[in-house]
Amino acid sequence: EGTRWSTGPQGFLENGSVSGKRETAIPIALKRFPLNNGQTGTLRGIVASRAFEEGERVLQLPSSVVFSIGPEEDSSNGEHWAVPFAKKLIEEKRAGASSFFSEYIASLPEAQMTGLELERSWEVLKEVQYLPAISAIANYSNLISLTFKGRSNRFRGETDLAEWVWANTVVHSRTFRHEGERFMLPLIDLINHDFERENVQWVRRDDRSIDLAVNRRIEQGEQLYVSYGDRNSDDFLVYYGFVPDQNPFETFILFESTKEACTWYIDRFLGSQDEDARSCILEMAQEAALAEEQDSSMSALEISATGQADGRMLAAFEAIHRQDPKAGPVPLRALMDRCCEILDTYPTTIEHDLLLLSSHTDATLQVSRYGARLHSHNCKNNKYSIHSSFPLSFAGMCSPIE
């Protein structure tokens, strides 16, 4: 474990730790792959140097090579959890070859592609069109700016904003979480994400090591994939700089709160109501939604790409519908109307977006091309089935086809 590794990512791989011992025949290798959809450049990934059977262990990382922060460095003082990680990463980078993690830091990208790249140009950022995603990018940017301004005296005058952005984006995109603890995993964090092709997963056996285990048979030369977690595409865009081809955890915000949802239904379908009657219906509907609430921290009401709607919406709409079944549609029909209403507000259509994204090779839109992933969808006269897989969240892809 104390052996100094050779320089660079490939040397880090060739001389990494398997089962806590330095081995010359590490069973994985670094390889570069061409980007999809006509994009220029390459993407690095990890391939198997030999075949693996299901259940076999690929790697075992001893705790000593896991990049983490100790209890004395945690965020108990109220600062954001990423701050102590970013500080430690910068300190280890500055230590150069004297740092035990020098080879790990050498394997990290010099520039991490994230949604922050979009914020460099308002002309590019506004093409996201989905306001929650734009807000998430802005909040991420503000968080990094605020923590940079509030960094400790030890870092004042020594760290510039570019270095702070680099450290934070690396930490946010490469930190794993297990039972409340966060850490970065050398070698394992070089593996790319794919929901469908996931063939390995990391497992923390005990406090001494972390294993990388095989989910299914892997052929020699096959690329390894892990899942980065049950995230919607906004999260992938903001923190990882790409949007998955297919995301079973995709969601789309229909309303910011139950009150907004209930008010929308009443205004749209019940017509004019005297103030007392309106207040009574609104209160009753919100109570019905509250009864369905499973997580008090959730506020926005969403629908998933597979057509699963927030139970609070359905309960509230059903409660209002029972008041006058002839006045408004059934809850699912109301949700479809809301989806179409939102789609009509987008400045471009799916057809326009596809033409735009397929025609650009301009470097300023390269980050947009990361997001050019469409989900399958059903559409007839701009009316989507409630069970359609909506193309969500990026570059106006919520717009109906003309």
Model confidence over 97-110: pLDDT tens digits?
A: 899 888 889 889 88
Strand partners, 383: 380
- The pLDDT value given to residue 278: 86
Task: Point out which residues pair with 62 in neighbouring strands.
Answer: 209
Both tokens assigned to 103:
């080879």
The first and second tokens of residue 78, run together, are 């109220």
Instruction: Indicate if the pLDDT at residue 17 is higher than 50.
Output: no
Output 147 or 156, whichever has higher pLDDT: 147
**What are the tens digits of pLDDT across the range 134-150?**
999 999 999 999 998 87
Q: Is the dihedral of CA 60, 66, 95, 2 positive or negative?
A: negative
Mean pLDDT over 308-320 rounds to 91
Alpha helices (runs of H) in 292-330, residue ranges in sequence order = 311-323
What pLDDT does residue 344 have? 85
Mean per-residue pLDDT for 166-193? 90
The predicted structure's pLDDT at residue 193: 94
pLDDT confidence of residue 324: 76
- Report helix, strand or coil for 369: helix
pLDDT digits (tens, 9 = 90+) for 201-212: 998 877 788 899
Q: What is the share, in percent, of the chain residues with pLDDT greater than 90?
A: 32
pTM of the model: 0.77
Lowest mean pLDDT among 117-121, 328-332, 357-361, 387-391: 387-391
Block residue for tokens 């927030």: 310
pLDDT of 38: 64
Which of 223-227, 238-242, 273-277, 331-335 has the highest average model confidence (pLDDT)? 223-227
Whole-number Å distance between alpha carbons of 187 and 181: 19
Mean per-residue pLDDT, 327-348: 84
Distances (CA, A) of 343 to 112, 124, 133, 235, 243: 32, 20, 16, 21, 20
pLDDT at 71: 58
Residues 6+ away with beta carbon under 8 Å from 268? 328, 334, 337
pLDDT, tens digit, 9 for 90 and up, residues 344-375 = 888 887 777 777 766 655 433 443 433 333 33
Query: What does the pLDDT look like over 38-50, one tens digit per residue?
Result: 667 788 899 999 9
pLDDT at 6: 44
- Mean pLDDT value across the chain: 78
Q: Are 49 and 62 in contact (CB under 8 A)?
A: no
Four-CA torsion 267, 270, 275, 281, nearest 10 degrees: -100
pLDDT band at residue 18 under the 50/70/90 scheme? very low
